Amino acid sequence: MDYDLIIVGMGPVGATAANLAGQWGLKTLALDKSDVVFENPRAMGFDQEVMRTFDNIGIADTIASHVMPYRASHYLNAQARLIRHIDAAKPPHLLGWAPNYVFTQPPVEKAIRANLGQFPHVDVLLGTEVIDVQQQGAAVSVQIRSKDGETRDLSCAYVLACDGGTSPIRTQLGLQMEDLAFDEPWLVVDVLLKEGAGESLPTTNVQYCETARPSTFVIGPGRHRRWEFMINPGETPTDISRPEAIQHLISRWLPAADYDIWRASTYRFHALVLQQWQRGRVFFLGDAAHMTPPFLAQGMCQGIRDAVNLLWKIAMVHRGNAASTLLDSYQKERAPHVRRTTEVAKELGQIICERDPTSAAERDHRLLQGMNTARSYTVRQALIPGLQDGLIADSGPAGELFPQPQVTNSDGKVDLLDRFTGQTFRLVIASAFPDSRELLHNLQHNLNGHDLPITVVQLTDSTPLAPEQFREHHGLLKQWMTERGCQVLLVRPDHYLYGGAESLQDAILLLERLLGDLHN
């Protein structure tokens, strides 16, 4: 067999998947039909989970100059009245990173690809397309064609189709997308402000919920700004994309002399979810598996969550640390999460896209009542669900994301916890847990004969620290565990909680159940 894994498509999702595969030691081929990174921005936002992943693969510092925290979003009605306010959770940040970011895609995408150079077992082929995929028992045969027309046949254990919304592999296999009933035409315009321009622009992101033409304004890094305009009946994508039409639309905010148009593209904002995410040894990720309207900035996030969810499972099965049935949890976990997140984005889109004046007035009244009776803004992170099914227990905070505190380790180094543990299973023990020694002895006993990648994180307030002990700063994780009545946590490599326990007996049962679930 030529490879453990072939990844088709080298956009942000495919390139991130290739980095994760490299970290897990999988012999991987990543390929893309294009031989260059697309030079125009497409995605513009990602969240704390994605930034945590970028840090896990080692590029957070590299991309810092192309990324900045996301501003609050103000929803304004036709009378410029604030009807909804979505903001980020305030510090200290639960996952160690700001809740949401804007970014400039081309340099970030280049950094993700460049990071693959550290993995000698990851090959990259650009200017190469897949023309056929055939499954043959325990292997997949993949026929590829280079840009000079040469064809080759390769074999691998698994294929990840990260080949975009039109996914030729999905089409070849005849898989169907479920339509969640959202289909709206929009123009997306990215501009670069000229030096000294833009002082009069809004200081927050704005959703203009106006029946005449719903539109969006987003503040990007540096001089990058984005406008999105709903295309009105009678307008054609070609006509509205002309420079003079764009300048007319933006003239409400800026004169044409204040900016250069970087990119203008028309889209139909869809809400689609693949009905079958896996066909044998072929898995679908990113836009090949789902399409999300952009109103929650979750499109790219959804795909990177796919990669983080799937890669450790493939590695565990490949190493013999888990039964192949573990891979069945991919769709079981990701599809409901994607569906709910997409529905939230759709609900926000329906608020913004309302064109009927009577319905818009009813919307305004309802949202204003909500702002008057609840706190004045919605926390964006509260709109994103956890896991409801799959490889999770039925105890404590199972399915929630594991917080990431800043800690000091036994060498006196201060950093985020992931930078000490990596993406392994983690057994997290509270500082007040009285039975730590017995639990660690039981862990060693239970792991006899299991090559499970697991790291012990024992929180403590004492000094000196043993190698598995960490002193937490700010008390964020301690408080989080106390609120959930947990003294012990079992964390998966993708940072989701397998489960939690309060007593020694429950913690032992939780560990035994995990080992059983992995091998059944």
Asked if pLDDT for residue 232 goes beyond 80, the answer is yes
Handedness of CA 238, 240, 244, 246 (dihedral sign): negative
φ, ψ of residue 366 to 5 degrees: the values are: -65, -45
Q: Which of 135-144, 208-217, 232-241, 369-378 has the lowest mean pLDDT?
A: 369-378
User: Where residue 214 falls among pLDDT bands split at 50, 70, 90?
Assistant: very high
In a 3-state reduction of DSSP, which class is residue 473? coil
Asked if pLDDT for residue 411 goes beyond 90, the answer is yes
Q: Which residue has the higher pLDDT, 428 or 379?
A: 428
User: For the residues 296-314, what does the mean pLDDT come to?
Assistant: 97
φ, ψ of residue 265 to 5 degrees: the values are: -140, 145
Buried b (16+ CB within 10 A) or exposed e, 427-464: bbbbbebebbeebeebbeeeeeeeebbbbbbbbbeeee
Contacts for 330 with CB less than 8 Å, ≥ 6 apart: 277, 278, 283, 306, 309, 310, 313
- Could you count the other beta carbons within 10 Å of the beta carbon of residue 247? 16
127-166 pLDDT, tens digit each:
999 999 999 899 999 999 999 999 999 999 999 999 999 9
Residue pair 139/421 in contact (Cβ under 8 Å)? The answer is no
Asked if pLDDT for residue 475 goes beyond 80, the answer is yes
State the angle between helix axes of 48-56 and 299-319 in degrees (0 to 180), rounded to the nearest 10. Answer: 40
Q: Which of 83-87, 155-159, 389-393 has the lowest mean pLDDT?
A: 83-87
User: For the residues 294-300, what does the mean pLDDT come to?
Assistant: 93
Instruction: Give the pLDDT confidence score for residue 378 in this predicted structure.
Output: 74
Residue pair 17/307 in contact (Cβ under 8 Å)? The answer is yes
User: For the residues 493-500, what does the mean pLDDT come to?
Assistant: 98
Instruction: Calculate the average pLDDT of the chain.
Output: 95
**pLDDT exceeding 70 applies to what percent of the chain?**
99
Q: Nearest-CA neighbor of 207 among 292, 80, 299?
A: 80
Residue pair 74/37 in contact (Cβ under 8 Å)? The answer is no
Asked if pLDDT for residue 379 goes beyond 90, the answer is no
User: Where residue 371 falls among pLDDT bands split at 50, 70, 90?
Assistant: confident
In a 3-state reduction of DSSP, which class is residue 384? coil
